[in-house]
Chains A and B, each alone.
Chain A
């Protein structure tokens, strides 16, 4: 059976906060360090003192509530109301019988000992191959000793299976009872208004961190903007390869900044700048043709309408064939139909007749020639 430590870990697994991980990753990606042999260390944050204190609070283990209340009373930073409340609670604690207090101490000690392994930071072994020795924390069962059957319970795998079923049923319940309620929140589709020209696209990975979730894309049609024809043309030329002539749409994306909002703001500013430049009459780029080399128009081949075999078409074809057959028949009766095989046979017959008249040299019989 699972040891208490593993049991605890399983309990903790669901409530593990993800925010720390995420900030760490972001910090890493934004910090571009030079080539160096020293280890990377984050810069000390502003409120280091407060951070340190919080760290201490976590590090120190109180054996019972009395100890905790004592430190709280002694603490100078605590407001008076809290201190008085703590003093009152401390008096209550002192009234608790001493064996109960000792039991508390023992329990705390036990939990502390059992959970010591968990609290130790897991460091990957240096010479391990892809950290194969590391236990996989995402597995439902703990891998250690799960195949030992102790005749008091079903196996860990069975428990895991049951857990899985519970999960399925939970989601099924949600789907049946709670999802339909979502329709109450549905809003009717409003087509974009005249002045809502820009269409933004965002990406979300449902709360998970992803390097692409900051990307924002804006699309707009130059015709929708309040611009004259030459200004629109200039805008298209400014957009360069971001202009799609088939859809008549300019599409720009940005993932330069860390947050979605920053990227969106940048795009908005950029579009404003482009419009302002397009409106600027000093140079309208009249000498530069619109460059569409980036876009290959793929011809859409469609089945020709005339080729569909409709009833009418079938009749038409049938009539034409009939006419051709009649024409052939007529020619055949007239004898004007040309037949290649017949022609050759006739020619061969006439050629034999010609061959017989080959002149023979005088003084020699035909037999003698042989």
Chain B
């Protein structure tokens, strides 16, 4: 070994010294005190004056001396930073925030709160009703409100009761009365109020003290944006999403606190981290999940308790709902250990939902499984589209039921099995009467500066493609024309 290398052995290792570079000539030639390895150069090494601030070695690399070659003709001058950049997640939180009231809006004097059967009453068709404070909190906890909806413009969140919503609530109510499970998919064109229909169903459920489990976005489960892990002892292998399930458990707990406190477990759950004995409130069971690791077993225990038969009198009806159905009706973006894509129905939570939608699980006290399709953010799912079209044609007793294209490869049997016997509600535009009620509400809130007469209503109704609600909002509410 040469002398410099021997000497280097005595120096205490630090980030400034190249640890092993026996072959490079530069370190050998350089004095030991020189911190950085010399850059590649044909000129002799000139010992630069060491900047005491740069002694740390990190940060800026080689600085070229002399004239610099400018490559671009027009160089952008560096923009001086204006203040602190937003913290991670801050922008998203701003984007996704939900404002439910506007103090500048004028309170509508004739606005009434929804009663327990307010949404199922046919007399309320074409009326705007307000959500009670308590239900607002519950709906917010279950993430039923969406940032794209115009809640932030009015004094109080209120709903337009449509013909379809009364129809849906009646169907749900009938199935609950008969202790059956309604399985239904809400579909329709863009901005026709599909998510709003789910929200109305949830409001109805909260008003009647049912338990609501709501998955606000199907895509959060399948676009590989949350953690996943295989569930041991399952064949074929299923996957849990612990972080998401913990979040869901917490939202279930917050939304249904009162009812869960009054419902008790039937069996003990010794396998959970916190030993749950029989006759414990379900709220305590929910509280047992403190960490993602225990989320899935707790959720499964809760699900088993809720769907346990034989104690029908003690169990409340359940509403299970999901928005963005197309995302859970396809092969997910998750990969198995063999790097094959996992089918969405192999994800435990999705499977739980699809099994219920397919009719494999019946709620003891009845209830409903609702799913809403999305039009703006939806992957193509040919099987789902075909199945829904078929169900619709069958329900309308049309002569021509659409058939599979025998030469198309993209169909999915599992999806078809799930959607074989669901009911379908197709949403379209509202009637002129409903449009008028809505526009009167807007005008009374001071958000529409016009006289709401037949002419104005017809104008907006026609502009909105025969009363598509989102388009009516766009035409009347969201314009800057005053």
Given contacts A324-B454, A325-B454, contact A289 B407 (CB under 8 A): yes
| Distance in Å: Cβ of A76 to nearest Cβ of chain B | 77
Across the interface, do B449 and A340 meet the contact criterion of CB distance under 8 Å?
yes
Number of A-B contacts (CB under 8 A): 47
Tell me if A55 counts as interface (CB < 8 A to partner B).
no
| Distance in Å: Cβ of A237 to nearest Cβ of chain B | 12
Across the interface, do B446 and A327 meet the contact criterion of CB distance under 8 Å?
no
Contacts of A339 in B (CB 8 A): 443, 450-452
In the bound complex, how far is the Cα of B440 from the Cα of A344, in angstroms? 13
In the bound complex, how far is the Cα of B452 from the Cα of A324, in angstroms? 12
Which single residue of chain B is at the shortest CB-CB distance from A324?
A: B454
| Per-residue contact bits, chain B 416-458, to A (CB 8 Å; 1 contact, 0 not) | 0000000000000000000000001011101111111110001
Chain A contacts with B in 307-347, Cβ cutoff 8 A = 321, 324-325, 327-328, 331, 337-341, 343-344, 347
Tell me if A136 counts as interface (CB < 8 A to partner B).
no
Given contacts A289-B407, A291-B407, A338-B444, contact A343 B106 (CB under 8 A): yes
In the bound complex, how far is the Cα of B446 from the Cα of A217, in angstroms? 73
Contacts of B66 in A (CB 8 A): none
CB < 8 Å: which of A289, A328, A344 contacts B446? A344
Across the interface, do B451 and A344 meet the contact criterion of CB distance under 8 Å?
no
Which single residue of chain A is at the shortest CB-CB distance from B457?
A: A324
Across the interface, do B454 and A340 meet the contact criterion of CB distance under 8 Å?
no
Which single residue of chain A is at the shortest CB-CB distance from B442?
A: A340
Contacts of A340 in B (CB 8 A): 442-444, 446-452
In the bound complex, how far is the Cα of B442 from the Cα of A347, in angstroms? 14
In the bound complex, how far is the Cα of B451 from the Cα of A131, in angstroms? 83
Across the interface, do B446 and A337 meet the contact criterion of CB distance under 8 Å?
no
| Distance in Å: Cβ of A55 to nearest Cβ of chain B | 64
Contacts of B442 in A (CB 8 A): 340
| Distance in Å: Cβ of B378 to nearest Cβ of chain A | 24
In the bound complex, how far is the Cα of B407 from the Cα of A289, in angstroms? 8
Which single residue of chain A is at the shortest CB-CB distance from B453?
A: A328
In the bound complex, how far is the Cα of B456 from the Cα of A325, in angstroms? 12
Across the interface, do A344 and B453 meet the contact criterion of CB distance under 8 Å?
no
Across the interface, do B449 and A344 meet the contact criterion of CB distance under 8 Å?
yes
Tell me if A293 counts as interface (CB < 8 A to partner B).
yes
In the bound complex, how far is the Cα of B452 from the Cα of A264, in angstroms? 75
Chain A contacts with B in 147-196, Cβ cutoff 8 A = none
Contacts of A338 in B (CB 8 A): 440, 443-444, 451-452
| Distance in Å: Cβ of A352 to nearest Cβ of chain B | 14
Across the interface, do B443 and A293 meet the contact criterion of CB distance under 8 Å?
no
In the bound complex, how far is the Cα of B440 from the Cα of A325, in angstroms? 17
Which single residue of chain B is at the shortest CB-CB distance from A347?
A: B106
In the bound complex, how far is the Cα of B155 from the Cα of A347, in angstroms? 13
Across the interface, do B446 and A293 meet the contact criterion of CB distance under 8 Å?
no
| Distance in Å: Cβ of A134 to nearest Cβ of chain B | 57
| Interface-centre pick from A321, A337, A338, A347 (highest chain B CB count, 10 A) | A338
In the bound complex, how far is the Cα of B436 from the Cα of A324, in angstroms? 12
Contacts of B449 in A (CB 8 A): 340-341, 344
Across the interface, do A289 and B451 meet the contact criterion of CB distance under 8 Å?
no
| Distance in Å: Cβ of A230 to nearest Cβ of chain B | 17
Which single residue of chain B is at the shortest CB-CB distance from A327?
A: B454
In the bound complex, how far is the Cα of B450 from the Cα of A340, in angstroms? 5
Contacts of B83 in A (CB 8 A): none
Tell me if B270 counts as interface (CB < 8 A to partner A).
no
| Distance in Å: Cβ of B288 to nearest Cβ of chain A | 50
| Distance in Å: Cβ of B423 to nearest Cβ of chain A | 29
In the bound complex, how far is the Cα of B406 from the Cα of A337, in angstroms? 58
In the bound complex, how far is the Cα of B458 from the Cα of A339, in angstroms? 16
Contacts of B446 in A (CB 8 A): 340, 343-344, 347
Across the interface, do A337 and B407 meet the contact criterion of CB distance under 8 Å?
no
Across the interface, do B407 and A328 meet the contact criterion of CB distance under 8 Å?
no
Across the interface, do A337 and B106 meet the contact criterion of CB distance under 8 Å?
no
In the bound complex, how far is the Cα of B453 from the Cα of A321, in angstroms? 12
| Distance in Å: Cβ of A334 to nearest Cβ of chain B | 13
Contacts of B454 in A (CB 8 A): 321, 324-325, 327-328
In the bound complex, how far is the Cα of B458 from the Cα of A321, in angstroms? 11
In the bound complex, how far is the Cα of B405 from the Cα of A291, in angstroms? 9
CB < 8 Å: which of B406, B443, B453, B458 contacts A343? B443
| Distance in Å: Cβ of A107 to nearest Cβ of chain B | 81
| Distance in Å: Cβ of A342 to nearest Cβ of chain B | 8
In the bound complex, how far is the Cα of B446 from the Cα of A321, in angstroms? 27
Contacts of A344 in B (CB 8 A): 106, 446, 449
| Interface-centre pick from A321, A328, A340 (highest chain B CB count, 10 A) | A340
**14 A-B contact pairs sorted by A residue (CB < 8 Å):** A289-B406, A291-B406, A291-B407, A321-B454, A325-B454, A339-B443, A339-B451, A340-B443, A340-B447, A340-B448, A340-B452, A343-B106, A343-B444, A344-B446
The residues of B with any CB-CB pair to A shorter than 8 Å are 106, 406-407, 440, 442-444, 446-454, 458
Known: A343-B444, A344-B446, A347-B106. 14 other contacts (CB 8 A): A321-B454, A327-B454, A328-B453, A328-B454, A338-B440, A339-B450, A339-B451, A339-B452, A340-B442, A340-B450, A340-B451, A341-B450, A344-B449, A347-B446
What 4 pairs across the A-B complex have the smallest Cβ distances?
Answer: A324-B454, A340-B443, A289-B406, A340-B449
